[in-house]
Chain A
Amino acid sequence: DAKTTQPNSMESNEEEPVHLPCNHSTISGTDYIHWYRQLPSQGPEYVIHGLTSNVNNRMASLAIAEDRKSSTLILHRATLRDAAVYYCIRGGAQKLVFGQGTRLTINP
């Protein structure tokens, strides 16, 4: 049980920002929020993770709500290569549990 809720699919245009939402209303205070993506025929790829404050790296930004019940992955300028399934995962004690994720389509 992944215990996160994401839209099944989203669509965006190339070179525009993308905001991928995730709800995790039952998250505990010590669970990190992880985001991974899976391109076609490849393994999951780490995108970003955080606990309370917003996080930025070269791939994306993670905005975490103040109550930690939701978060948003932000791709600042989508490219065709960003088309993938994006997984929002609560970091349990010992392992990551994947849900169905959000299939992101990028239109040229």
Chain B
Amino acid sequence: EPEVTQTPSHQVTQMGQEVILRCVPISNHLYFYWYRQILGQKVEFLVSFYNNEISEKSEIFDDQFSVERPDGSNFTLKIRSTKLEDSAMYFCASSAGLGRPTNYGYTFGSGTRLTVV
């Protein structure tokens, strides 16, 4: 069964440093997402990406965040200057799309645990 792959599984970084979280979505999917989950809290939507541009972003996704699909397979989330409150699990997801992405099931990766110290 196709999988969404995320690397690294765990990253520790110092406050103020830049981090890049990487994801390989399912190859024939069209919509890509980043979600995050702070420990003990619910899964929160960050951003959706379609046709090489952001289609929607949440209030959390401020100027410190950016996403990119640098080639045909990778999808990255960059945090420019990390803060302590960015510590969370970050999940990548993809959907087949074709019109309305929520008409299809989403496949999530197993996440990257980001710890900012």
Determine which of B91, B102, B108 lies in contact with A32 in the assembled complex, contact meaning CB atoms within 8 Å: B102
Count, chain A residues at interface, CB 8 A = 25
CA distance A60 to B42 in the complex (A): 23
Q: Check if B55 sits within 8 Å of A94, measured CB to CB.
A: yes
Q: Check if B91 sits within 8 Å of A44, measured CB to CB.
A: yes
CA distance A101 to B37 in the complex (A): 14
Determine which of A38, A93, A100 lies in contact with B102 in the assembled complex, contact meaning CB atoms within 8 Å: A93
Determine which of A30, A43, A46, A49 lies in contact with B91 in the assembled complex, contact meaning CB atoms within 8 Å: A43
CA distance A90 to B98 in the complex (A): 18
Nearest CB on B from A81, distance (A): 16
CA distance A98 to B89 in the complex (A): 15
Interface digits, B88-117 against A, CB 8 Å rule (1 contact, 0 not)?
Answer: 010101000000111111111111000000
Nearest CB on B from A88, distance (A): 13
Measured between beta carbons, the chain A residues less than 8 angstroms from B68 are none
B interface, size bucket: 20 to 34
Q: Check if A34 sits within 8 Å of B105, measured CB to CB.
A: yes
B44 within 8 A of A: yes
CA distance A102 to B89 in the complex (A): 20
Measured between beta carbons, the chain A residues less than 8 angstroms from B44 are 98
Measured between beta carbons, the chain B residues less than 8 angstroms from A93 are 100, 102
Q: Check if B103 sits within 8 Å of A97, measured CB to CB.
A: no
Q: Check if A94 sits within 8 Å of B106, measured CB to CB.
A: no
Q: Check if B102 sits within 8 Å of A98, measured CB to CB.
A: no
A31 within 8 A of B: yes
- 6 new A-B contacts at CB < 8 Å, known A93-B100, A95-B102: A43-B89, A43-B111, A45-B108, A49-B105, A87-B43, A94-B56
6 A-B pairs (CB sep. < 8 Å):
A43-B108, A43-B110, A44-B91, A93-B100, A95-B102, A98-B35
**B residues near A, CB below 8 A?**
33, 35, 42-45, 48, 55-56, 89, 91, 93, 100-111
6 nearest A-B pairs in the assembled complex, by CB-CB distance: A91-B102, A98-B43, A43-B108, A46-B105, A44-B108, A43-B111
**A residues near B, CB below 8 A?**
30-32, 34, 36, 38, 42-46, 49, 51, 87, 91-101
